[in-house]
Amino acid sequence: MPEGDTVWQAARRLDAALTGHILTECDIRVPRYATVDLSGETVDSVVSRGKHLLTRIGEYTIHTHLKMEGSWQVYPRGARWRRPAHQARIVLGTADTVAVGFSLGITEVVDRSDEESVVGHLGPDLLGRDWDAAVATSNLVAAGTRPIGEALLDQRIMAGIGNVYRNEICFLRGIDPRTPTDHVPNPSKMVDLAHRLLNANRDRPVRVTTGDRRPGRRDWVYGRGGKPCLRCGTLIVAGEFGEEPGRERSIFYCPNCQPLLRPDG
């Protein structure tokens, strides 16, 4: 699932392509909204909220979420799409540009005044105007005995962290992702790190958490199972981890740099 910085970049591309322009085409290929046609309306803005995208058009907001396979792509009118047409869930066109949402996990239309019904549950957005480190820290502390690796993925705590960042944040703070959150020292530092990492990467074409842009050295642990730790040389452990059966996600950690802190000490 894309990270918050990826979604932020998608919002910027869509906003640049659509905002201020009149829609000449609005094709929503989701049965519930197939009859919705916003052609003739002007796009007011496209913004991200955590991992959610909000395209504001007149009295309505098109709410989309990329989930695992989704993407928004922008083309000059008449250009050939890079993904199959049958994967398109929504097509928004202007006189010169076509924006296509492929394989989106969520595509829905809500009244603009009712946006909170789709994003109101989210915690402070790490890349948003509503960012509040104190609220995010309080939310994280309230996670109690939940494993820190699960708490970091909970968008109700703070919005924008995905699996890459949760693994990298845990490494940089020296915490095994299975550690209970209430055993994590200085949770405010974890929140601050998350904010700094996403902001540092939001304008980069390639995400880097190590400071080294060379291929294979951009991440400390994510995707590096069985490879030497870039810090100490210990082999990185890869596994599956999740609170709910069937919803496990990949975890990567260095058993030397990230000791597991258990409730029993």
Angstrom distance (rounded) from CA 123 to CA 139:
8
**Active-site choice (2, 124, 147, 177):** 2
Exposure string over 141-175, b if 16+ CB within 10 A, otherwise e: bebeebbbbbbbbbbebbbbbbbbbbbbbbbbbeb
What is the DSSP-derived secondary structure letter of residue 162?
Answer: -
Q: What is the mean pLDDT of residues 54-60?
A: 98
> What pLDDT is recorded for position 2?
85
> What pLDDT is recorded for position 249?
85
Q: Is 249 a catalytic residue?
A: yes
For the chain, give the percent of residues with pLDDT over 70.
97
* pLDDT tens-digit series, residues 229-259: 999 999 999 999 876 666 778 999 999 999 9
Q: Is 2 a catalytic residue?
A: yes
Angstrom distance (rounded) from CA 256 to CA 252:
12
Please measure the distance between the N-terminal and C-terminal CA atoms of the chain and give it in whole angstroms.
Answer: 34
* pLDDT tens-digit series, residues 90-131: 999 999 999 999 999 999 999 999 999 999 999 999 999 999
Conformation bin of residue 249: beta by default, left when phi > 0, alpha when psi is -120 to 50? beta
> What pLDDT is recorded for position 23?
98
Alpha helices in the chain, H assignment, sequence order? 4-18, 116-119, 133-141, 148-151, 163-172, 187-201
* Average confidence score pLDDT of the chain: 95
CA 158, chain centre distance (Å): 11
Q: Which tokens go with 127?
A: 């890349």
**Active-site choice (13, 29, 249, 255):** 249
Give 10's pLDDT tier (boundaries 50, 70, 90): very high
60 near 109, Cβ under 8 Å?
yes
pLDDT greater than 70 at residue 79: yes
Angstrom distance (rounded) from CA 219 to CA 169:
11
* pLDDT tens-digit series, residues 119-169: 999 999 999 999 999 999 999 999 999 999 999 999 999 999 999 999 999
Angstrom distance (rounded) from CA 223 to CA 164:
9
**Active-site choice (49, 51, 166, 224):** 51
Angstrom distance (rounded) from CA 86 to CA 247:
27
Give 263's pLDDT tier (boundaries 50, 70, 90): low
